[in-house]
Amino acid sequence: MIDRVLDVNLKGYFLFSKYSFPHMRGRGGAIVNISSVHAFVSYVDSAAYDASKAGIIGLTRALALEYGREKIRVNAICPGYINTPLMDQWLAIQPDAAAALKQVLSFHPLGRIGTPRDIADAALFLASDAAEFISGTYLVVDGAMTAAGH
């Protein structure tokens, strides 16, 4: 199982960057990786996933150093709970989906779960000229969930 998780969640990002770099060389650009709050907060039975998401942060920093001279910026977004079909699948396997959703909502000081649009807006910002001096870092997009200790 760990091989599959690392292949998809870490090696895939490495290979994407490796094969994108030649097309960006000489032109500059931005790569925005998607990590997770799991890079900083771990849960039971998620060791492989947590390790892969923490690895994306390390990979992001290393690639920012490698590609910086070519004016290629590399950053990562670390989403928290996001209202997606995966979230729906997770809720569906909970013994009490309503209680699980209520608990998840209680983790978020902003009072809601994130949306795909929240992540898209963060990615658009990091890829834009407005972020031209931002590279080698990550943006946590989680409604202050990790700040609240969750």
Q: Which of 13, 49, 67, 138 is catalytic?
A: 49
The question of whether 49 is a catalytic residue gets the answer yes
| Predicted pLDDT of residue 11 | 96
Q: Is residue 48 part of a domain?
A: yes
| Residue 40 vs residues 2, 24, 51: alpha-carbon distances, Å | 19, 30, 10
Domain housing 33: 2-141
pLDDT tens-place string over residues 61-76 = 999 999 999 999 999 9
pLDDT tens-place string over residues 66-107 = 999 999 999 999 999 999 999 999 999 999 999 999 999 999
| Predicted pLDDT of residue 125 | 98
Is the pLDDT confidence value at 51 over 90?
yes
CA 53 to chain centre: 7
Q: Is residue 49 part of a domain?
A: yes
- Mean pLDDT estimate for the chain: 95
Question: Crossing angle, helix 97-106 and helix 85-92, to 10 degrees?
Answer: 130
Is the pLDDT confidence value at 1 over 90?
no
CATH of the domain at 16: 3.40.50.720
Specify the number of domains making up the chain.
1
Is the pLDDT confidence value at 150 over 90?
no
